[in-house]
Amino acid sequence: MLEKFKKGLSKTRDVFKNQFDILFGGSEIDDLFFDELEEILVSADVGMETTTKIIQSLDKRLQAKKIRERAAAREVLKELMVELLEKDQKTSLAAAQTPPTVFLILGVNGVGKTTAIAKMAYRFSQEGKKVLLAAGDTFRAAAIDQLEEWSGSVGAGVIKHHEGGDPSAVIFDAVNAAVARGVDILICDTAGRLHTKANLLEEIKKISRVIQKSLGTEPHETLLVLDATTGQNGISQAKLFQEVVPISGLILTKLDGTARGGIVLAIKDITGIPLKLIGVGEKKEDIQIFDAREFVEALLA
């Protein structure tokens, strides 16, 4: 599993690796070192605010530990990034005491919600769990078909209505079906929506209310899907979705490209929302539970 994860991150790592090797290969820690580190972090979409914070605390720690060589600074940086990603949160997925466990999946258009859901479903059914999917994207043309096509190959049932239907109604039926069928895990797909569209955000509130009513509890995880290529707008996405419903974690997709997904550091730093799952490829098994140490290790390896 570690191998798979590393392989998924290999592109990310390769890009970072060269830069980090050069960075930490130098001799003394000087202003230039911090400038270069800034460049690397900003180029990875970490954003100026969080980059500045990381650099400042790195500087402080290096001074406190009287570290003068670049090579030794690497470990300190690693620790720092792990701490940031792990702060106050456990990253594993929640599970209901009495099934079904319900996951609500949100995100802007095109981040890969449906694919991520299929991968999650496959993962859970491989673990021997009974999985049901709710086709809550009633808006995008053929989204329901997309989920249905996946469901067969990942071994999960689908609850669907017709295109253009009320997503809350689909979710309501799905929760009831999940309870009735004794399903372990229900994953609810939703239509992609920009975080700036008030009426579409209202719809999410409604969906969340429907789950709460029919299930008697809030969704066990409300996960925001984020594309690894996303830039600083990711912060705005996290903030605005968070204002509508409490977001319990992120799913970072498309980490198999050259994008480095550094935005998750910024999001964790600024909103506190932890990363929980990462998508690392096109196949149904290409999803991993996020592990901060592995993530940072892989980045700085």
Partner 1 sequence: MLFSGLSEKLQETFRKLRGKGKLSEKDVDSALREVRLALLEADVNYKVVKNFTASLKERSLGAEVLKSLTPGQQVVKIVHEELVKLMGESQSKISSVDNPPRIVMMVGLQGSGKTTTAAKLAVLLKKNGHRPLLAAGDIYRPAAIKQLEILGSEAEVPVFSIGKEDPVKIAALALKEAGKEGNDYVIFDTAGRLHIDEELMDELGKLKKETNPLEILLVVDAMTGQDAVNVAQSFHERLGLTGVILTKLDGDTRGGAALSVRAVTNCPIKFIGTGEKFNAFEPFYPDRMASRILGMGDVLTLIEKAQTVVDEKKRQDLEKKLRSQTLTLEDFLEQLQQVKKMGPLEDLLGMIPGLNKVGNQFKNLSLDDKQFLQTEAIIKSMTRDERLRPEIINSSRRRRISLGSGTSVQDVNRLLKQFEQMKKILKQINAMDKGKLKNRGMFPF
Instruction: Order across the sheet with 101-106: list the strands.
Output: 157-159, 131-134, 185-188, 101-106, 221-227, 249-253, 275-279, 287-289
- Residue from 89, 91, 146, 212 binding partner 1 (CB under 8 A): 146
Nearer to partner 1, 119 or 220 (CB): 119
CA distance 68 to 29: 6
Q: Residue 206 region, left (φ>0) first, then alpha (ψ -120 to 50), else beta?
A: alpha
Under the binding rule (CB under 8 A), the answer on residue 44 touching partner 1 is yes
- Other beta carbons less than 10 A from residue 163's beta carbon: 15
DSSP, collapsed to helix, strand or coil, labels residue 140 as coil
- Other beta carbons less than 10 A from residue 149's beta carbon: 13
Site for partner 1 in 153-192 (CB under 8 A): 163
Please name the residue that has the structure tokens 């198999």. 256
Under the binding rule (CB under 8 A), the answer on residue 145 touching partner 1 is yes
Q: Please count the CA atoms within 13 angstroms of the CA of 198 that sit on its side-chain side.
A: 0
Give the interface segment with partner 1, choosing from 124-132, 147-155, 242-250, 286-294 (CB under 8 A): 147-155
Under the binding rule (CB under 8 A), the answer on residue 242 touching partner 1 is no
- Residue from 21, 30, 39, 83 binding partner 1 (CB under 8 A): 39
Q: What is the C-alpha end-to-end distance of the chain, expressed in Å? A: 17
Tokens representing 259 are 């994008």
Nearer to partner 1, 141 or 180 (CB): 141
Give the interface segment with partner 1, choosing from 167-175, 216-224, 256-264, 270-278 (CB under 8 A): 256-264
CA of residue 174 relative to chain centroid, distance: 24
- Residue window 103-142: x/- pattern of binding to partner 1, with contact defined by CB under 8 A: -----xxxxx--------------------------xxxx
CB of 202 to partner 1, least distance (A): 16
Site for partner 1 in 201-240 (CB under 8 A): 227-234, 236-237
Binding site for partner 1 (CB under 8 A): 11, 39, 42-45, 47-48, 108-112, 139-143, 145-146, 148-150, 163, 194-197, 227-234, 236-237, 254, 256-260, 263
